Chain A
Amino acid sequence: MRKQLSLKHFSIGVLVSSVMSVPAFAEEIGDVDMGARVFKKCAACHQVGAEAKDRVGPHLNEIFGRSAAANEGYRYSDGLKNAAADGLVWDLEHLDAYLENPKSLVTGTRMNFRGLSEPEDRANVLAFLRQYSDNPSNYPEAEPTAIAPEVELAPEILNIVGDRDYGEYLASECSTCHQRDGSDQGIPAIVNWPAEDFVVVMHAYKRKIRPHPVMQMMAGRLSNEEIAALAVYFEELE
């Protein structure tokens, strides 16, 4: 039932600048503004734009036309590395399929996202992302797309240096459900996140901003130091 997105919309880079400085072909894939709204779902893990950095997920600048697992410095799942070795390139068709159901296209991906079932949502968010993948790479100045963190944490909490050994013990409780090898078999993957993101997410559970009873309970009884210890342990876990 997936709406077929036509590749010919950007087959050859005929770049027509509009007054909005949005490439015209991007508009043809979908609605950029609507796509920016859809992207909020992605922005919990992915950044895009001039200041974008790798977070829980890799940044998405220049994603179009790039080989899978090709963002240097980001630690990809074996699933994505295997897909890259098999020749997966992020063209419109494959991005569309991935967004529809990530685990169906790439077995073993750590991307914990159920997918966008509406073809229009996918088209819109891809139109939005397409702006940051011009060729040549001169993605436009845009408002930073990173959303505010889920919880505002005082610097003294964010700056706690976690005790890795303590984190290792505490982590034994996590691995009753979460796989240490970073795979997602029904419970989200939690390894190799930037420590700061891990801390923010755990405090979001601790303050019951994120809705999950098991995680609210687990995080609820962890001290700031314990959360920091877990964050550093999982960040560095091989």
Chain B
Amino acid sequence: MKLNRRTFLGTGVVASAALSAPMVMASGKPRVVVIGGGAGGATAARYIAKDSKGEIDVTLVEPSRKYYTCFFSNLYIGGYRSLASIGHTYGALAAEYGINVVHDWAVDVDNEAKTVSLAGGSVLPYDRLVLSPGIDFIDGAVPGWDVTSQNKMPHAYKAGSQSELLKAQIDAMPQGGTYCMVAPPNPFRCPPGPYERISMVAHVLKEKNPTAKILIVDPKAKFSKQGLFEEGWANHYDGMIERVGPEFGGDNVSVDPDAMTVNIDGEVTKVDVCNVIPAMKAGKICEMAGVNDGNWAPVIAHSMQSKIDENIHVLGDASAQGDMPKSGFSANSQAKVAAMAVRGALTGSKVFPAKFSNTCWSLIDDNDGIKVGASYEATDEKIAKTSGFVSATGEDAALRKATYEESVGWYAGITADMFG
């Protein structure tokens, strides 16, 4: 009931906002369009609307009525969270912050006219555009795989139905079967994400299918929090997990989704679940807006403005963000810098020096949480790391438990910060 009401509420406000749109435009308020309702976009929209106190007209374009956070979706796969608990709607952003939430796809940007075209036919004018579309996969990155094979070989790297599918496949594995992950090359969304996922898959299999095997095919020589993960895997899942790095052909992999086989450096292996996480690039709208240099959108660190178009800000995974990792925390942090810059540009409000931070928590097994984080500042060249920390190997159980509990608190904090 509640979900229906909220969804309905969100839509209702959109409808009424659309009706009153001509009045808003006539009043000459500056207009901001935000594309993407995740950690970057939802936060930016909320902060611009909240802090401008109605002086800026904010439209948020997001195709999904219900947004599932990619962060904590591994905990869903591990059975620690329900899918519902990582799903969020936009009712509060619409009702409490007056944001026009439009559930549609942005399909083009006209940089000269400063308009965004939506798949449904609407054209939204803007004074500033905020792009926070997340990631898309690079075609052909894993030979044999494309998005049409995602139902056979899910990526589950955009949360929601893909997460559900992967979890169901793991649950249905035959006893003693093989789960294979094709891990992505750098840079990619959530550097510890694939390895937290391995931990969560192992947690499920240890319980239900203890003779099952986990195979990681990895093009990278090393990965985030590697020592911590490997220590945890040895402690909790000894003998279950095998990782094939580039030295053994992990960078030369193709798949056959129909045969459910993986070809690693010429050797073909039959697997039961194949979780293909291909190489990534900025969400497609960045290409349409012409703000990419290669696969990602370079930004001015002080304001998150595109280096190519000063009327566009790019946040989160889609941006080339200097030393920051691609994470929900980073996107949320960048959104506040961008929101301040946008308000400063459009209403003359005071602009303070940018500060950025990030922390990534990962869960290895029950109450065994680890974290890595850093703070950053804006330089003329990039977002530059100033200091950081990482959990240590051999930490006691109480600290690991506290770290996990902290991550649960962070989830509640950041989602309140995003969705109001």
Q: Are B410 and A177 in contact (CB under 8 A)?
A: yes
Q: For the complex, is B386 an interface residue (Cβ under 8 Å from A)? A: yes
Given A169-B340, A176-B333, A214:B413 Cβ within 8 A: no
Given A217-B373, A217-B374, A173:B357 Cβ within 8 A: yes
- Distance, CA A169 to CA B333, complexed state (A): 11
Q: For the complex, is A155 an interface residue (Cβ under 8 Å from B)? A: no
Closest to A187 in B: B409
Selected contact of B47 from candidates A172, A186, A187, A218, CB within 8 Å? A172
Q: Are A221 and B373 in contact (CB under 8 A)?
A: no
Q: A169-B336, A173-B336, A221-B377 are in contact. List 12 more A-B contacts (CB 8 A).
A: A165-B350, A169-B352, A172-B47, A173-B355, A175-B413, A176-B357, A179-B413, A185-B408, A187-B409, A217-B388, A220-B387, A221-B375
The 4 closest A-B pairs by CB, nearest first: A186-B409, A187-B409, A185-B412, A213-B389
- Distance, CA A169 to CA B332, complexed state (A): 13
Query: How many residue pairs bridge A and B at CB < 8 Å?
Result: 78
Contact with B along A207-229 (1 / 0, CB 8 A): 00000011011101100000000
- Distance, CA A138 to CA B352, complexed state (A): 52
Selected contact of A179 from candidates B332, B350, B386, B416, CB within 8 Å? B416
Selected contact of A214 from candidates B377, B389, B412, CB within 8 Å? B389
Given A175-B417, A176-B333, A218-B375, A187:B357 Cβ within 8 A: no
Chain A interface residue count, Cβ-Cβ cutoff 8 angstroms: 25
Q: B410 contacts which chain A residues (CB < 8 A)?
A: 176-177, 186-187
Closest to A178 in B: B413
Minimum C-beta distance from A206 to chain B (A) = 12
Q: For the complex, is A66 an interface residue (Cβ under 8 Å from B)? A: no
How would you classify the secondary structure of chain B's contact residues: helix, strand, loop or mixed?
helix
- Distance, CA A111 to CA B371, complexed state (A): 25
Q: For the complex, is A97 an interface residue (Cβ under 8 Å from B)? A: no
Given A185-B409, A186-B408, A176:B414 Cβ within 8 A: yes
Q: Give the contact-size bracket for chain B.
A: 20 to 34
Near A by CB (< 8 A), chain B positions 322-339 give 329, 332-333, 336
Q: A165 contacts which chain B residues (CB < 8 A)?
A: 350
- Distance, CA A69 to CA B386, complexed state (A): 43
Closest to A213 in B: B389
- Distance, CA A172 to CA B388, complexed state (A): 20
21 A-B residue pairs with Cβ-Cβ distance under 8 Å, sorted by A, are: A166-B352, A170-B352, A170-B355, A173-B336, A176-B329, A176-B333, A176-B357, A176-B410, A176-B414, A177-B406, A177-B413, A184-B409, A185-B408, A186-B406, A186-B410, A214-B359, A214-B371, A217-B375, A217-B389, A221-B375, A221-B386
Q: Are B373 and A213 in contact (CB under 8 A)?
A: yes
Q: A9 contacts which chain B residues (CB < 8 A)?
A: none
Near A by CB (< 8 A), chain B positions 343-384 give 350, 352, 355, 357, 359, 371, 373-375, 377
- Distance, CA A175 to CA B410, complexed state (A): 9
Q: For the complex, is A53 an interface residue (Cβ under 8 Å from B)? A: no
- Distance, CA A165 to CA B51, complexed state (A): 11
Q: Are A172 and B336 in contact (CB under 8 A)?
A: yes
- Distance, CA A172 to CA B387, complexed state (A): 20
Q: Are A176 and B405 in contact (CB under 8 A)?
A: no
Q: B374 contacts which chain A residues (CB < 8 A)?
A: 217
Q: A216 contacts which chain B residues (CB < 8 A)?
A: 389
